[in-house]
Amino acid sequence: MTAPTPLIAGNWKMNGLAASLAEAKAVAEGAKAARARVAICPPSVLIERMSRELAGSAVAVGGQDAHAEESGAYTGDVAAEMLADAGATLVILGHSERRATYGETDSLVAAKVKAALRAGLEPIVCVGETLEQRKAGEALKVVTGQVRGSLPADLAGKAFAVAYEPVWAIGTGLTPTTPEIEEMHRAIRATLVEMFGEAGRAVPILYGGSVKPSNAAEILHADEVGGALVGGASLKAADFLGIVNAV
C-alpha cells in the first residue's frame, strides 16, 4: 500500500479575529505547489468566512471540536453538521486540551468521531501521554489505549487521521527525540493495522507538539510520520509555510 499523502494541519486554538484571515489567504497563496494536503482549523466563528476566502484554493478548513449530537439543548456547543454547513471538511477531536479541561474521555471522543462521519467530516483524532506517564514508562500503553478507545469501528473505509501530541511537548518548545517519535508512531501504526487491517496503513499519523520551521524537516521525514498538527507556528503564514514546505 502506498504511503498516505502527508497532511499539515494548523490548529489556531482560541486565537484569531477577522483580521487573521489575511494569514490564511497568505497560506493558500504560498501552498499552491505544496506536496502535502494543507488545512487550517480556526475558531468555529471564523470557519464560514475562512471557507469563503479559501474557496478554490488547496487549503481545507476544519473545526477544533464538535458535539456528538446533531442538535439540541447544548448551550455553547457546535454540532459536526454545523461545521460542515459552514464549510469545514475536517475536524480535530480529542485534543489533549479538551481531554484535560473538559474531561473528554476516549468513549466521548469516539462518539464525536461518529458524529464527524455522520456529517461527512474527516476526523483528526488526537492522542498523547503526559510527562508523568512518560516518566513512568507508560507512554506506549497509554497512547495505544487511547487509539483503541477513541477510534470507533465505523471508521473502517473512511478518511481519517491520528495525531500523536505528547501533552508535555505542546506549547513548551520541547519535543521528543526522533527515535521516540518513531517508536510511538510505529506502535500507533501497529494498533491501526490490528483494528482496521491493511487499510490501517493508509491512515496518516501526524505528529504535534512544538513543531516549527527549524525542526519540521527532521520530524516530517521520520518513519511513520505522515504530517503535522501545528499550534503556535500555524498562526503566522510564513512559519506555517516553512513547515508545509518541509514535507
The C-alpha atoms of residue 78 and residue 196 are separated, in whole angstroms, by: 29
From its phi and psi, is residue 242 left (phi > 0), alpha (psi between -120 and 50) or beta?
Answer: alpha
- Window 75-104: contact mask with ligand 13P (x via CB under 6 A): --------------------x---------
Work out the widest C-alpha separation in the chain, in whole angstroms: 48
188 Cα distance to chain centroid: 15
Q: Does 8 bind ligand 13P (CB under 6 A)?
A: no
Cell numbers at 246, concatenated:
518541509
**Which of 104, 122, 165, 224 does the annotation list as catalytic?**
165
Q: Does 63 bind ligand 13P (CB under 6 A)?
A: no
Nearest to 203 by CA among 150, 149, 146, 125: 125
Residues 6+ apart with CB under 8 A from 135: none
Contact with ligand 13P (CB under 6 A) among 23, 122, 165, 239: 165
- Report the residue number, 23 or 165, with the smaller CB distance to ligand 13P: 165
Contact with ligand 13P (CB under 6 A) among 229, 237, 243, 244: 229
Q: Does 232 bind ligand 13P (CB under 6 A)?
A: yes
Binding site for ligand 13P (CB under 6 A): 11, 95, 165, 170-171, 208-211, 229-233
Positions marked active-site: 95, 165
